[in-house]
Amino acid sequence: MFCPVDAFHWTSYLGAMSIKPLIILPDPILRLGSKPVERVDAPLLKLADDMLETMYDAPGIGLAAIQVGEPLRMLVIDLAKEDETPAPQLFVNPEILATSDERSVYEEGCLSIPDYYAEVERPATVRVKYVDRDGKVMEMEADGLLATCLQHEIDHLDGVLFIDHISKLKRDMVVKKFKKLAKDRQPARMVG
Ligand code: NI
């Protein structure tokens, strides 16, 4: 997820990692359902660190593994502001256990749908179960931007994008625009 207000610069504290190419709308990969992670091991943590670097570079505040082409149920979030110490969080196999009746509206963006923003209404508070970096099962109650960000990223694990929560008219316009952009990026084909 990209939030224009909370975006901050990548800082080099995380060491040797690599930026991965982002999967962009209308790539059908974004519509895949992701598989549960079986164990939190070194390769998985390397992927998590690469996702963080990719997210900081963008810059964004949340990223799901499928957005770098890995159909695994994991996501990273860091809501620290530009002038704050980075606070990366890893959520493996996250599950929403409960949501509040109270709703809130945030202007959302997505690193897979660059430069498009729209207001989305979602439950204001969520209770989430997940596995952390140490492989421990955790539960967390989130509200505010974290609640929105978690719901946005968990949606990605089921192939759902934030534009699925806006009107069909607006969504069709965005998809059409990104289809055209993708077409324009394709090299001209040889004929004959
Ligand atoms: Ni997104």
For residue 44, what are its two tokens?
């998985």
Residue 1 located in a structural domain = no
Residue 6 backbone phi and psi in degrees, to 5: -100, 5
Residue 191 located in a structural domain = no
Q: Is the pLDDT confidence value at 89 over 80?
A: yes
Q: How far is the CA of 191 from the centre of ligand 1 (A)?
A: 37
Residue 192 located in a structural domain = no
Residue 2 located in a structural domain = no
Q: Is the pLDDT confidence value at 183 over 70?
A: yes
Q: Is the pLDDT confidence value at 9 over 80?
A: no
Marked catalytic residue, from 53, 70, 108, 153? 153
Is residue 30 classed as helix, strand or coil in its secondary structure? helix
Q: State the average pLDDT for the chain.
A: 92
Q: Compute the distance between CA of residue 29 and CA of residue 75 in angstroms, rounded to an integer.
A: 16
Q: How far is the CA of 189 from the centre of ligand 1 (A)?
A: 31
Q: Which residues contact 60 (CB under 8 A, 6 or more apart)?
A: 1, 2, 3, 7, 111
pLDDT attached to residue 82: 83
- Percent above pLDDT 70 for the chain: 90
Residue 25 located in a structural domain = yes
Is residue 127 classed as helix, strand or coil in its secondary structure? strand
Residue 139 located in a structural domain = yes
Q: How far is the CA of 52 from the centre of ligand 1 (A)?
A: 14
pLDDT of 35-61, one tens digit each?
999 999 999 999 999 999 999 999 999
Q: Can you give the residue range of the structural domain that contains 69?
A: 7-185
Q: Is 84 a catalytic residue?
A: no
Specify the number of domains making up the chain.
1
Residue 155 located in a structural domain = yes
Residue 5: CA count within 13 A, CB half-sphere: 4
CATH code, domain with 135: 3.90.45.10
Residue 127 located in a structural domain = yes
Is residue 93 classed as helix, strand or coil in its secondary structure? strand
Question: What is the pTM assigned to this prediction?
Answer: 0.89
Which segment of 6-20, 35-49, 56-70, 176-190 scores lowest on mean pLDDT? 6-20
pLDDT of 122-173, one tens digit each?
999 999 999 999 999 999 999 999 999 999 999 999 999 999 999 999 999 9
